[in-house]
Amino acid sequence: MLIDPCLWVCVDCAAFIANGEVEDPDPEWSEDNLFWNWPNAFLVLNPENSDGPEYEDNPDVIEFSNSECEGCGSYLAGTRYRAAAFEIE
């Protein structure tokens, strides 16, 4: 079941979601924060259902943002990638 269809996540969260690891994370980033914020969720980047009308004005990438990462909660400025959260059953 879809929990949240449009999350904006930082570069480190995007790398972890895509690859299961981050080669050179920001010193303040921790996968523990991602798991803490989404304990029963499976996160995916650029969900396939992104072509619906609710996404017409949403890009796949925000080139620069200083808003909170909706994955780990970091305020580190930079690129944000669209992700979605699905409930683990």
DSSP-assigned letters across all residues of the chain: -EEEEEEEE-HHHHHHHHHS--SS--TT--HHHHHHHSTTEEEEES-GGGGSGGGTT--SEEEEE-SPPTTT-----EEEEEEEEEE--
Per-residue confidence (pLDDT) for residue 60, from 0 to 100: 80
Confidence at 48, pLDDT banded by 50, 70, 90: low
Domain hosting residue 6, numbered range: 2-87
Q: Domains in the chain: how many in total? A: 1
pLDDT score recorded for residue 57: 60
Q: What average pLDDT does this structure show over 40-51?
A: 76
